[in-house]
Structure 1
Amino acid sequence: MKKQPQVRERTREKMFDAFFKEYKENTLRGVTVGAVSRRANVNRSTFYEYFTDIYDLIDQAEDSLLTEMLSRIMQLQKEGFNEQRQQLMVYGEEIINEYGERLAILLGHGDTGFSQKMIAAMQPVTTEIFQIDITDPKAELLISFILSGITGYITVWYNNGKPVAIHDMVAALQSIMAYSVSILKNQ
């Protein structure tokens, strides 16, 4: 008998949560199917109904995280804003509040594959928000710089115990991004 889609999604999310808790405490090699299954309170066989191994789980967790983030950004875009600054503050604060810990865990372990996935996924949104001409040869470098800076900032911020309020962190990031874009547009 097949499980209902809602039950499958809840079970999958429980395993994602368990994985992130394990990954926060261990290296990827230290995260085991048994540990994730125990923490998620599911059988090992249930784990294998969803994932082939830990590497498949992390790949699906990364894809799910990026899909959720982009979906949330699109939802925020539909709400509309009076100005770009207001839009960026809302995006930044909402994304950090909702996904900051998972982002920091993935990025903090030095997963360059995830960093590249995130940059690729966020590039169209960044291009649109900052109205960057993607045909400009410097545009790709600038977008990569902005997104790499954001990911580094989030990782250090989270790993240092969130020493700055989210609003202040997002405001600092916004200033850095705006300054970087202004340099590109003025060259």
Structure 2
Amino acid sequence: MKKKPEVTAVTKEKLMASFWKFYCGKKIEKITVKEITDEAGYYRSTFYDYFTDIYDVLEQLETGLIHTLKENVQSSLVMKQQNDIIKILATMYEERGEYLSVLLGKNGDPNFHQKLKDSLRPMLFEEFGLPKSDMDIQLIIEFGMAGIISTITYWYDNGKRIPNEELAIMIRSMLLEGTMSLISKRSSFDLIERFGQTE
């Protein structure tokens, strides 16, 4: 008899939650299917109804996170609320931060950071009409995306000590004004004078 969709969804969710519990504590190559199924309360054969192997669980989990992020960003772009993109990322961190922080952290998946940027890059080029073949533009976009992701990760890992709205304003200011300019404004040390103006 065919299982009901809601039943299969719950089963898959439990298996993924079980995987995640182990993934947060040890390297993926040390996790076994038996551990996952024992923790979730299923037989090993049930695991293979949903996943090909341990790495497939991680892949599906990452794909789901990136899909949610892309949907939120695309929705913002359609509504012409470009200034809210950074806030969307910060808000998603508040909702899915446990996953994102681990995946982007030192013990997480080294490929996830690149996957995240690869999912955002085409949308940014298309929305702002940027030439995809221009290496200068590519480097600037890469710098911006890496900075945004790293800053939000650091904010989350350090207790989210400022509201996400304030974080979004700060990141936007860094992108528009430059980091050295903002540091100089907030301290007595003039970084621009120290490092020199750009040509």
Fold-level similarity (TM above 0.5): yes
Aligned partner of residue 112 in structure 1, secondary structure: coil
Q: List per-residue Cα deviations over 1:98-151 (Å, max 9, x = no partner).
A: 332211111112422111111111112333555544342212112222222233
1:183 paired residue number: none
Asked whether the equivalents of residues 86 and 171 of structure 2 are also in contact (C-alpha less than 8 Å), the reply is no
TM-score, structure 2 length as denominator? Answer: 0.73
| Partner Cα separation in structure 2 for residue 52 and residue 6 of structure 1 | 21
**Residues 69, 99 of structure 1: 8 Å contact kept:** no
Comparing both chains, which one has the higher relative contact order based on Cα–Cα distances under 8 Å and sequence gaps of 6 or more? 1
TM-score (normalizing by structure 1): 0.77
The alignment partner of 1:25 has SS state of coil
What residue ranges of structure 2 are gaps of 5+ in the alignment? 179-198
Equivalent residue letter for 1:125 = M
Match runs of 1:111-130 below 5 Å? 111-128=109-126
Between Structure 1 and Structure 2, the one with more helix by share is 1
Partner of 1:101: 98
- Which residue is 1:3 aligned to? 3
Q: Which runs of 5+ in 1 are unaligned?
A: 181-186
Q: How far 1:20 moved relative to its partner? A: 2.4
**Superposition RMSD on alpha carbons, in Å?**
2.7
Q: Identity across aligned pairs (percent)?
A: 33
In our comparison, the structure showing a higher alpha carbon Rg is 2
Letter paired with 2:103:
L
CA distance in 2, matches of 1:41, 1:5: 19
Contact 2:69/2:89, CA 8 A, preserved across alignment: no
Q: How far is the alpha carbon of 1:58 from its aligned partner?
A: 0.8
- Closer, same or farther: CA 25–41 of 1 in aligned 2, 3 Å: same
